[in-house]
Amino acid sequence: MAEERLLMKGNEAIGEAALRAGCRFYAGYPITPQNELTEYMSRRMPEEGGTFIQAESEIAAINMVYGASAAGARTMTSSSGPGISLKQEGISYLCGSELPCFYANIVRGGPGLGNIAPAQSDYFQSTRGGGHGDYRVVVFAPSTVQELVDLTILGFEVADRYNNPSMILGDGILGQMMEPVVMRESVTYDPSGKTGWALGNSEGRERHMITSVRLAPGTLERHNVHLRKKYLEIEAKEVRYELYEVDDADVVIIAYGTAARVAKSAVTAAREKGGIKLGLLRPITLWPFPTDAIADLAKNKQDILVAEMSFGQLYEDVRLSVCGKAKVSLLAHTGGGLPTEDEIIEAAGKCVASSEPVEIYPVLE
């Protein structure tokens, strides 16, 4: 399909972008706040000649994706936190077997059943692998519906490039809101790069075996080191972030996704008021993490304020990046709470005023 300018809901935009990236297999299970994506795929996937399956569970869905990916298809699933928890075993198998896939976590408040309000509390689950064993998935953090589109398409490309899952870490706001988007032209997906390993008719070639079992002594360790090297390459090549008004900033806010949208407005508002000069570093990939860019802020002796919709998860990666060489403070909402512009500007004032890092939980104030 040709490039179009559309007004789309975030969840549906992910679905359309996936189809245009050549995704022809989707398996999912209903969960709020991502249902529009599953519904969209149920209607559009057959139109494109692909397969849509409403699976009996999230566990079955990710294992269908495992099979479809093994057969060489561009494939995806989507869910929200509790469902992604169930999918973690399958994601671990995909990583262990080096199979690509793409998935979206439209995050809701946790832990447990939590609520259906937007949150960022699945940061650790996403960036640390999330399931059992040594592995990583590439985590994209869009902050607009346009980025949902662009990073979905990129997500499929990156997954295929490294034979590893990649994902979007969104939230209920991004999934539910409508924005104008430029929907890119459909790509012609060429599966020929997968003919060396994909399952199919084995006539006239060596048979293909896909597995994550490596019982013989030393084989799993060697395989995991191979994975590690791949992950180091991803860390070297795939880091993405945005800098906004950082150069002369007294306090640099580090935020992603919905929290970064609020932070950007706070930067502009504070500068218009002529108060503290704020800047923003917005990670677009959460793993690989923009460690070097954040370390540079520390070298410049800039104060750092992490604004996130979780209790200090992004904060931990920022502190690891600066290694004690900068004052890192935290403004945290959780369980569906959202930061406001005023809270961010006020928190930045507290950062500057304090010689020690501060941790601010507005719900307690």
Partner 1 sequence: MEKVFGKPESLSDRPFTYCPGCAHSLVHRLTAEAIDDLGVMPRCIGVASVGCSVFSDLYFNFDFIQAAHGRAPAVATGIKRVKPDCVLFTHQGDGDLASIGTAELIHSANRGEKITIIFVNNAIYGMTGGQMAPTTLIGMKTTTSPLGRQAEVQGYPLRVCELIRELKGVAYLERTAVNNPQNVLKTKRALKKAFQAQLDGLGFSLVEVVSQCPTGWGMLPADSLEWLEKEMGAYFPLGVFKDAKAEEPQEVA
26 three-class SS: strand
Among the listed residues 2, 213, 353, 364, the single contact to partner 1 using CB under 8 A? 213
* Among the listed residues 64, 307, 328, 330, the single contact to partner 1 using CB under 8 A: 64
Which of 10, 15, 33, 72 is in the footprint of partner 1 by CB under 8 A? 72
Nearer to partner 1, 89 or 250 (CB): 89
Helix, strand or coil, per DSSP, at residue 54: strand
118 in Cβ contact with 338 (< 8 Å) = yes
Q: Which of residues 39, 48, 89, 316 is near partner 1 by CB under 8 A?
A: 89
Torsion angle of C-alpha atoms 67, 73, 74, 77, degrees rounded to 10: -30
Which residues lie closer than 8 Å to 352 by C-beta, 6 or more apart? 250, 251, 276, 303
Q: Which two tokens stand for residue 170?
A: 């969104």
What is the CB neighbour count within 10 angstroms for residue 247?
10
In the list 211, 217, 324, 355, the residue contacting partner 1 (rule: CB under 8 A) is: 211
Q: What minimum distance in Å lies between the beta carbon of 188 and partner 1?
A: 17
Q: Which of 242, 276, 303, 254 is nearest to 123 (CA)?
A: 254
Residues 18-47 that bind partner 1 (CB under 8 A): 24-25, 27
Tell me whether residue 212 or residue 340 sits nearer to partner 1 (CB atom). 212
Stretch that binds partner 1, among 36-44, 179-187, 202-210, 296-304 (CB under 8 A): 202-210
Residue partners of 210: CB distance under 8 A and separation at least 6 = 70, 97, 99, 197, 199
In the stretch 308-347, what mask flags binding to partner 1 with x, by CB under 8 A? ----------------------------------------
Taking the complex as a whole, the smallest distance from the CB of residue 41 to partner 1 amounts, in Å, to 14
Give every CB contact of residue 156 below 8 A, 6+ residues apart in sequence: 18, 21, 22, 23, 74, 76, 100, 102, 166
Q: If you ran DSSP here, which 8-state letter would residue 332 be given?
A: E
Tell whether residue 69 is a contact of partner 1 (CB under 8 A).
yes
Of 170-178, 209-217, 227-235, 325-333, the window that binds partner 1 (rule: CB under 8 A) is 209-217
Nearer to partner 1, 20 or 24 (CB): 24
Q: What is the DSSP letter of 359?
A: E
Q: Nearest distance from residue 301's CB to partner 1, in Å?
A: 50
Determine how many CB atoms are found less than 10 A away from the CB of residue 222. Answer: 10
192 touches partner 1 (CB under 8 A):
no
- Tell me how crowded residue 184 is: count the other CB atoms within 10 A of its CB: 18
* Contacts (CB under 8 A) with partner 1, residues 44-63: 51, 53, 55-57, 59-61, 63
Burial class (CB in 10 A: 0-12, 13-18, 19+), 214: middle
73 contributes a contact to partner 1 by CB under 8 A: yes
According to CB under 8 A, which one of 39, 67, 117, 349 is a site residue for partner 1?
Answer: 67
Across 94-112, b (16+ Cβ under 10 Å) vs e yields bbbbbbbbbbbbbbbbbee
Binding mask 284-303 vs partner 1 (x if CB under 8 A, - otherwise)?
A: --------------------
User: What is the contact surface with partner 1 in residues (CB under 8 A)?
Assistant: 24-25, 27, 51, 53, 55-57, 59-61, 63-73, 75, 89-90, 93, 97, 199-204, 207-213
